[in-house]
Amino acid sequence: DAPLVEAQNLRVWLPTGRRDGIQAVRNVSLRVAAGERVGIVGESGSGKSVTGRALSGLLPTNPRVRVEGSIRFRDGEEMVGASAKDWNDVRSRRVGMIFQDPLTFLNPVMRIGRQVAESIDPRRVDLPVRDEVLRVLETVGLTDVETLVDRYPHELSGGMRQRVLIAIAIAKRPDLLIADEPTTALDATVQRRVLATLDDAVSRLGTSLVLISHDLAVVGSMTDRISVMYSGRIVESGTTNEVLTAPKHPYTQALLRSVRSLTDPDTELWSIPPSLRREIDEHVALEAKEDEYEA
């Protein structure tokens, strides 16, 4: 069965002060089947967001950003090297995105209703667009939607804005949703409710989901499979159950131990002792060499 989207040997370089820039993504391969939920976890700077942006064609528009490898959507053309127009096309039909910070994504001077309406394709819905806007806003747990459509983003709470973002993403009925730390900016109670909404919306629509988060508990509860990233690579992939109960890679093992040892919620989630980190780095370096031999 053809996957909905498949990335093969994806490599991304981003410009920095250094001449060649830094390689943020190293030979990442990822497949997402129709209706499947895949989590990407890993510590800060491991390349999760750059991977998510590459999959949605939303890397910074800078001629020095370099992408190699392959990204294909089912029945689609190769998207690595595709034009901005082709990516726009793919996004408008197939991929919805939910990012961490709704204010950078929402238009501050456009009413909520219009922003949702803009992502609705009238040919794909039975209701008039205005009714569909109201329906979608209700789907994500917002109330009093008739008033809400006339409001501006700054008049809403953080949790409401994040729900609006989910509404915008699902309004176009995408095949795939990419959610990058969708609730990190919210407090714990609101986080849980917004995640439950996302979970529910994805189930009802049968949409595939790529959920990016450093929060293993969140990813563990919402996905079928998990890929663990470390310094730009996927070091382990498996079913969510396998990865969480029988991790194979020393980094995943360390990660789970560091999470389990958490008692104080303010402890750094990814506190891996330096000696263990050296061991992991050696292990990863060896694996990388083996990959190069195979390639």
Binding mask 3-42 for ligand ATP (x = CB under 6 A): -----------x-x-----x-x-----------------x
Which of positions 197-216 make contact with ligand ATP (CB under 6 A)? 214
Q: Which residues contact 144 (CB under 8 A, 6 or more apart)?
A: none
Half-sphere exposure of 220 (CA within 13 A, CB side): 12
Judged by CB, which is closer to ligand ATP: 34, or 58? Answer: 58
CA–CA gap between residue 179 and residue 183 (Å, rounded)? 9
Question: How far are the Cα atoms of 7, 37, 123 from residue 239, in angstroms, in the given order?
Answer: 18, 10, 37
Judged by CB, which is closer to ligand ATP: 36, or 180? Answer: 180
- For 208, phi then psi, to 5°, come to -75, 155
225 binds ligand ATP (CB under 6 A): no
48 binds ligand ATP (CB under 6 A): yes
CA–CA gap between residue 42 and residue 11 (Å, rounded)? 17
250 binds ligand ATP (CB under 6 A): no
| Shortest Å distance, C-beta 277 to Mg ion | 20
CB atoms within 10 A of CB 55: 25
Token pair of 32 as six digits? 């997402």
Judged by CB, which is closer to ligand ATP: 116, or 194? Answer: 194
44 binds ligand ATP (CB under 6 A): yes
Instruction: Report which residue type is found at 246.
Output: A
Task: Pick one of Mg ion, ligand ATP, none as the site partner of residue 60 (Cβ within 5 to 8 A by kind).
Answer: ligand ATP
- What is the binding site for Mg ion (CB under 5 A)? 49
- What is the binding site for ligand ATP (CB under 6 A)? 14, 16, 22, 24, 42, 44-50, 60, 214
